[in-house]
Chains A and B, each alone.
Chain A
């Protein structure tokens, strides 16, 4: 069945460091891929998405490219800020949005 695997945290970085959070997926169809972010005490917010192979999603300096050959959707940011401290969830949507799968989440802490 479909599934999402993302790197375990927690991740601690200094401000302005480069961030990569790995995400790989398994899907039987042609899924859409998402990154959601959850700030402390809040619900999830859509960060970015990609709906087909080779698409690049980007938002707030974050980027992720849909790689079908490696079944990956790694999240990257060139220079993190303290305000980026949150939990990041990779997710996929299959069968036209009728099934959603989330990774376990990766906690990121950025220190000044």
Chain B
């Protein structure tokens, strides 16, 4: 149980285009999902907290107009990188907390590797 999927797992795009990444909780509902960014050999950097039915909460320094987050249902959150540039190339990981049960444990998706040319 507690499986989180991400799609796509790999994406290459041209500079200036927008990319949408989906995060789904497959066997549980998640009121709260998180989006992280991870640079090579570094820890996770929390970008934003996504709450179903409300606006996302962004961490300091993360441009909300650049990284659009939509949490339209209890099983799906999307991250759209708008007008992507090479510096946005990274590994994006989402996580979800089950609405029921233990609230403290995050379950992570497998990550999406974005390469912007």
Contact = CB atoms under 8 A, between A and B. Distances in A.
Q: Does B bind A?
A: yes
Contact of B108 (A32, A44, A51): A44
Interface residues of B, number: 20
Dominant secondary structure at the A interface: strand
Interface residues of A, number: 21
B23 to A, nearest CB: 10
Contacts of B93: 43-44
Contact of B105 (A43, A49, A103): A49
B106 A100 contact: yes
B44 A89 contact: yes
B42 interface: yes
Interface in A74-110: 89, 93, 96-97, 100, 102-105, 107
B43 A42 contact: no
A73 interface: no
B105 A105 contact: no
A89 to B, nearest CB: 7
B54 to A, nearest CB: 14
Contact of A105 (B4, B43, B104): B43
A7 to B, nearest CB: 13
A97 B97 contact: yes
Interface of A: 32, 34, 36, 41-46, 49, 51, 89, 93, 96-97, 100, 102-105, 107
A110 B104 CA distance: 31
Interface string B33-55: 01000000111101000000000
| Residue from the set A45, A97, A107 with the largest chain B CB neighbour count within 10 Å | A97
B103 interface: yes
Interface in B82-117: 93, 95, 97, 103-111
Contact of A36 (B4, B42, B104, B108): B108
B43 A100 contact: no
Contacts of A102: 43-44
B97 A107 contact: no
Given A102-B44, A107-B41, 12 more contacts: A34-B105, A43-B93, A44-B108, A46-B106, A46-B107, A46-B108, A49-B105, A51-B104, A89-B43, A97-B105, A102-B43, A105-B42
